[in-house]
Amino acid sequence: MIYLDHAAATPVDEKALEAMKPYFSEHFFNPSAAYLPAKKVSADYEAAKATIAHAIGAKASDIVITAGATEANNLAFTAVSGAPRKVPTSFRVLYLEMEHDSIRAVAKKSGGKPIKVLPNGLIDLNDLKTKITDETELISVALANNELGTVQPLAEISGIIREIKLDRLKRGIKKQLLLHSDASQALNLLDINVARLGVDLLTLNSAKIYGPKGVGALYVSHDAKLQPLTVGGGQENGLRSGTENVPGVIGFAKAVEIANEHLNGNRKKYASFRKMFLSELKDFELINKKHVLDNFIVLCFDGIDAERLVFLLEDKGVYVATGAACAASKGVKSHVLKAIGLSDSQITGSLRVSLGETNDERQIHEAAKIINEVVQAERKRIGHE
């Protein structure tokens, strides 16, 4: 098997798995319990949270552990209180039009308006500037997109927001203006620091960085006042009640530690794999040329149905995707590829390849060869129809 869909899921790293195991059995105690072994589990849990938080330049008390990035994204949007206006004239929430569905869905519920992207996948800063009004309270822009891998200029965006906040202050407007970013895809490939990025809220996802699934975190700055999605025992500073997922968080922290150790090495390795892969492929258009994570490759094969390619490639042991796993499984056309202005036929012919730790150089050569053969056979078949 040659697995080229690491943006959808990553296998749990062996070391992360080993670190988790004792917390399923001998260290099973509830961290809130009063006896010593439970207190030890609680201390380990807090240390794991600190490891995750330090990776983004924050403290353990600044992050809320969630059951994945979807929940973290939904929690971030609780910063915007009250029901959306029935006939909005201006919008409290702005979000990038190519965000993951977990943002688009909650943003729409909160009365959100999309910000445009340019054909190169980067945010249209002019559109952002014209859409921010005195009513705007929350802006959500993913650090790296999950279909294209496009890395957004968050520090520049937060600079614009800072100026607007200053202007509001001068005019006596006290309304909050927060910047949220979904960094699900980026934690093992970019050096992330919340202060440098200037974000108030940041989503992290264990499942994309070789940690367990169903675990995530939300960084929350002191300026952001959130409402809990679940109430109960008051865990996670009252923002996420429920007994802590100790093994999950231990595994997440180990994955973060490993990601940090290999950050530069990973980037170099994937950049060289990407280059090699592209130089060996034939008859394609590269969609995500610049400003992208090194492990994302989006290819367009003109006139070919990429969904058929996915199945044909699976028969040869190569696993790829046409886009986000959730959209692909519903047969919905990619809103991301639409947002960057691709035509319907380009979208139909587009394939996402996301490289990762299961790959080596031999696999990259082999995958390029198999894709070339399958595409060529498909072109022949269409030509003969």
Question: Could you give the angle at the alpha carbon of 365 between the alpha carbons of 15 and 150, nearest 5°?
Answer: 65
Among residues 66 and 164, whose Cβ is nearest to ligand PLP? 66
Stretch that binds ligand PLP, among 162-170, 180-188, 270-278, 364-372 (CB under 6 A): 180-188
Query: What tokens were used for 355?
Result: 């490289």
Among residues 149 and 198, whose Cβ is nearest to ligand PLP? 149
Among residues 320 and 374, whose Cβ is nearest to ligand PLP? 320
| 154 C-beta neighbours (distance < 10 Å), count | 22
CA nearest to 146, candidates 19, 321, 372: 321
Stretch that binds ligand PLP, among 17-25, 182-190, 283-291, 307-315 (CB under 6 A): 182-190
CB of 318 to ligand PLP, least distance (A): 21
Among residues 70 and 359, whose Cβ is nearest to ligand PLP? 70
| Binding flag, residue 49, ligand PLP (CB under 6 A) | no
Stretch that binds ligand PLP, among 68-76, 247-255, 292-300, 304-312 (CB under 6 A): 68-76
SS3 115: strand
The DSSP symbol for 21 reads: G
Query: What tokens were used for 146?
Result: 């999950």
State the DSSP H helix or E strand holding residue 252, giving kind and residue range, or none if neither.
helix 246-261
Question: Judged by CB under 6 A, how many residues of this single chain contact ligand PLP?
Answer: 12
CB of 146 to ligand PLP, least distance (A): 3
**DSSP secondary structure, 123-191, as one string:** B-HHHHHHH--TT--EEE--SB-TTT-BBP-HHHHHHHHHHHHHHHHHTT-----EEEEE-TTTTTTS-
Among residues 75 and 351, whose Cβ is nearest to ligand PLP? 75
Is 326 considered catalytic here?
yes
Site for ligand PLP in 95-114 (CB under 6 A): 100, 102
> Which one of 120, 326, 366, 378 is the catalytic residue?
326
Site for ligand PLP in 240-269 (CB under 6 A): none
Cα distances (angstroms) measured from residue 251 to each of 268, 314, 373? 25, 30, 40
Q: What are phi and psi of 24, to 5 degrees?
A: -90, -25
- Positions touching ligand PLP (CB under 6 A) are 68-70, 100, 102, 142, 146, 182, 184-185, 205, 207
Q: Which residues are catalytic?
A: 326
